[in-house]
Amino acid sequence: MEPWEAPVRLLPLPLPPVHGEVFGWYLHRRAAANNVTAGQLAKTLTPFKNAQVGKRTDTLWRWTPMVLPRLATLTGLTPETLRMLLPAIARVEARATGEVVRYRRHLYIACSHCMHRRGITGPVLAHRPADFQLCRRHGIWVDGNRHYRVGHLPELVTAEHRHRRIARRFPDTMEAATKEAQHLVRSWLLNKKQPHLLSRWNDRLAQLPPKEAIYGNIIRRRVDEREYIATYPEFVTLLGILADPAWRALREPGRRTNLSQHRRTIDAVYTEAEHRLNVPTLREKLRSHAFSNDPLFRWTDSLGRSLMLVTTPDDYDALRDESHQH
């Protein structure tokens, strides 16, 4: 009788998975607690003779839906609970029925303080929603390989609340808008042409701890990890504009839209961004050619009409003043 044909029973230590945990990580963690190997457990779950499960294994391409009832017996958990906690299980079942399940690509190390409360002493690799950045209970930033303590920066916690609301409100545009908003704040940070924002970001950077827990052998380090944390509130603010279909529609004028109307659109976008970011202006270089290279200008001018829009100093004045005349 093959291992996957033999009856299974509840393990002595049937550890439950962490929400979103990578399947291979969970299997190794549970195997270690019960003094067996992950390979031995894998062979009891699926008719795949050479089943090799690494810690980061999560696609389970050759596995079958029979894994679910057998895993439920081993863990003492219901199939519904396992589907909810382990994304890999849901994908195995979806492939069998032809259903499309989107693969989560956001991996993170779960908050160590939360894990200690559950009796887990080692790191846990799991999937996270794109709008989950920090552990609110302990004030730990979890989006990266360094778990910075940011509880003393309440604007980060507030920003994550807004991030989740935006994700629920605009699910269809979130992926594109996230890339655009990240590009915006990253450009402004590097080109140093938004002094009001730069001062705010430098103050926030100075308040981040210099060293924190590092999981470099598990999560790849972002070169801009600290900068991403410092700019996160402004990123979320811009995301609220860029993900909104009403604002996205304005940046795609028809071919017959006149330049005066397009100028008013650009002015409206800048005015809205300045209001939400609570800065006096984002148009420091209004009368220079550099303004047409500003990332927010480029986002608004998606058809590349900037050369027609700002070719003379008078055009810059019109861009600034025209909205006040209407």
Which of 107-111, 116-120, 303-307 comes out lowest in average pLDDT? 303-307
Q: Residue 162: pLDDT above 90?
A: yes
Domains of the chain (ranges plus CATH)?
23-97 (1.10.260), 130-244 (no CATH), 251-325 (no CATH)
Q: What is the mean pLDDT of the chain?
A: 84
Q: Residue 182: pLDDT above 80?
A: yes
pLDDT tens digits, residue range 10-46?
A: 888 888 999 999 999 999 999 999 999 888 888 888 8
164: which 2 tokens?
A: 């989740």
Q: Residue 231: pLDDT above 70?
A: yes
- CA–CA dist 37, 215 (Å, integer): 24
pLDDT higher at 1 or 42: 42
The reported pLDDT for the residue numbered 4 is 64
For the stretch 275-282, contacts whose Cβ atoms lie closer than 8 Å and that sit 24 or more positions apart, written own/partner, are 276/237, 276/238, 276/240, 276/241, 277/197, 277/234, 277/237, 277/238, 279/194, 279/196, 279/197, 280/196, 281/196, 282/194
Which of 23-27, 248-252, 288-292, 319-323 comes out lowest in average pLDDT? 319-323
